[in-house]
Structure 1
């Protein structure tokens, strides 16, 4: 019981320790000062939220279990931020140009919030277009490879040659073929999504027990019924795994593709800030990218747990 209580308050204790260190130890004179103590404001917000959650957990069993599960993880994250704060801001042990203070990094989210929101919308639009095109083509190709041996015989070698090549490696050729860099970026994202979904869809279909199709034949099922009511549902675990790989690959390709002539987006923002030697903005962009990628994958897994309820918890994120 005591250990469970310690786990619940671990985040609050970690935040209080980080606040005390930030307030009591002055910043190094070598570190450029930020406009405000943004990291301290962040700690205040996190601490207030977890105090409210802790009070709620006293009266709600579900919230109590969730707090016991997540609080040590958040406490570990706060501890890492605290160490970074000491090394970079308080002691300036690393070059201040490349390792800015957390106040300057968190200040970017306030000062550049409008530009960052525009970049999120631009990257989101580009990602959705490329992902949808790649996912549809990958799903169709996977179905054809899984159900038709003649098509698999001719297309599989092409898939094995083109697929493993990173989509960004095609950038010199793609930029020459397409009239705009935006179209080239869509193509590279679609290509990065197409391969994992194709492979996992065809693999999932080929691994279905033949008895499923034999039973469907006995009951008089047609070809389309066997494809979409037997084959696809049975291959859904593999398809979702392909979607997971495709999502991570799409984000990698997105950032690289936006550096080739795009005038907006998170990748463009990172490249621009790096060229301006504004590394606080670069780190803020990386944090934003990590949060968005994690959020999309988490939503994907929530959707998977609803569709494949019998596999809930088999693969966790």
Structure 2
């Protein structure tokens, strides 16, 4: 075990002991709002089937929203970043639409789209699209002009320019945008599930909070935290693979 792993393990154990000390031993916190660790652990085991169903529902929405965003934003970002005239033309629209919080589209998505699943995928798509799109453009702009000029000089085709020159060159910016997109997409997923879902991690927390069942609320928050940790760890490994040439 590396030193970093040991440090993280010690921090986790310290946090768990502090939780146990403040709830079960010293009774410093309201037991209605702050359950004991063993109580939460018991609920994690009891509700494991509900959590598995919620995870499947949440991951389905997250997968389709993020996949559609990546399939559209990265190619468009490469094209727009490469074409200066096109980039300057759409820059005002990008500056206006990009910063708008995607959560404001939720009422319209629910009203216009026929199902909650489609509405949620659309909201996640919007949230994941803009960071990826704008970072892809920035990555192409940051690419050394001499590389692009040399490729043009030797007659590289447009397809090869996009896939073999611009895409690898912009990849550091793309993965940075991807990390932002993933975090934002998960936040939007949880928010959407809290509003109109009948399953999912966000629904689980909202449903039991309405009944003041805070032990289950804490259990749901812990599961969400673990899921985010796993997703970011996997994304970091994917980033290391995509940028392995930098080593």
Q: Same fold (TM over 0.5)?
A: yes
Corresponding residue to 2:34 among 92, 96, 99: 99
Deviation, 1:202, is 0.4
Matches within 5 A, 1:84-233: 84-233=19-168
Matches within 5 A, 1:240-255: 240-255=175-190
Deviation, 1:144, is 2.7
Distance in 1, matches of 2:132 and 2:7, equals 35
Distance in 2, matches of 1:306 and 1:168, equals 32
Name the SS of the counterpart of 1:269 in structure 2.
Answer: helix
For the pair 1:238 / 2:176, whether they are aligned, the reply is no
Name the SS of the counterpart of 1:264 in structure 2.
Answer: coil
Corresponding residue to 1:287 among 222, 228, 243: 222
Name the SS of the counterpart of 1:259 in structure 2.
Answer: helix
TM-score computed with the length of structure 2 as normaliser: 0.95
Distance in 1, matches of 2:246 and 2:207, equals 43
Deviation, 1:177, is 1.5
Alignment gaps of 5+ in structure 2? none
Deviation, 1:309, is 1.4
Q: Deviations over 1:79-100 (max 9, x none)?
A: 1111111111112211111111
Number of residues of Structure 1 aligned to a counterpart in Structure 2: 247
Is the 1:145–1:156 Cα contact (8 Å) retained in structure 2? no
Deviation, 1:229, is 0.9
Q: Deviations over 1:15-69 (max 9, x none)?
A: xxxxxxxxxxxxxxxxxxxxxxxxxxxxxxxxxxxxxxxxxxxxxxxxxxx3433
Corresponding residue to 1:308 among 229, 235, 243: 243
TM-score computed with the length of structure 1 as normaliser: 0.75
Deviation, 1:170, is 1.4
- Larger RCO: 1 or 2 (CA < 8 Å, sep 6+): 2
Match of 1:263 in 2: 198
Corresponding residue to 1:298 among 233, 242, 245: 233
Q: Deviations over 1:193-232 (max 9, x none)?
A: 0010001000000111111012112222122211111111
Is the 1:109–1:284 Cα contact (8 Å) retained in structure 2? yes
Is the 1:119–1:265 Cα contact (8 Å) retained in structure 2? yes
Distance in 2, matches of 1:107 and 1:183, equals 35
Is the 1:305–1:311 Cα contact (8 Å) retained in structure 2? no
Distance in 1, matches of 2:238 and 2:176, equals 12
Distance in 2, matches of 1:282 and 1:242, equals 31
Distance in 2, matches of 1:173 and 1:124, equals 23
Match of 1:24 in 2: none
RMSD: 1.4
Q: Computing the radius of gyration over CA atoms, which structure comes out larger, 1 or 2?
A: 1
**Which has the larger displacement, 235-244 or 90-99?**
90-99
Q: Quickly say closer, same or farther: Cα 1:305–1:76, change in 2 above 3 A.
A: same
Name the SS of the counterpart of 2:28 in structure 1.
Answer: coil
Q: Which has the higher helix share?
A: 2
